[in-house]
Amino acid sequence: MNSLSGGALKALSDRRARSLLEISRAARGLGHEDRPRVQTRLDRLRGKLDQNRSALLLHLDAAREIAALVSRAIEEAESDGTYGAGLAWRARR
């Protein structure tokens, strides 16, 4: 159910690492007078990243829930109940 393949995830991670490296290098060259402006922009970026993270977590939770529902539906459709977990559940009752 994951829409990011292993290669796409690695590419995204590599881009993130390069971006962090570039930000670190750029920050070293800043003068003291530039820091408040840069800090404001970094704070805004952090806020946007936090919003993005929340949205991704919401989508991931939804994908997990859908996967569980589909998995359960497939198990129920393929099983006549003779050997499945449903039998063990019914035996405990």
- Listed by start position, the domains of the chain span 31-92
86 Cβ neighbours under 8 A, 6+ residues apart: 76, 79
Q: Taking the model in full, what pTM does it have?
A: 0.55
Compute the average pLDDT of residues 37-46.
89
Q: Which CA distances in Å does 10 have to 5, 23, 34, 57, 58?
A: 9, 20, 33, 19, 22
User: What pLDDT was estimated at residue 70?
Assistant: 94
User: What pLDDT was estimated at residue 77?
Assistant: 82
Instruction: Report d(CA 8, CA 28) in Å as an integer.
Output: 31
76 Cβ neighbours under 8 A, 6+ residues apart: 86
Compute the average pLDDT of residues 52-79.
90
Q: Which residue did the predictor score with more confidence, 24 or 65?
A: 65
Mean of per-residue pLDDT scores for the chain: 82
Instruction: Report d(CA 10, CA 22) in Å as an integer.
Output: 18
Q: Does residue 18 carry a pLDDT above 70?
A: yes
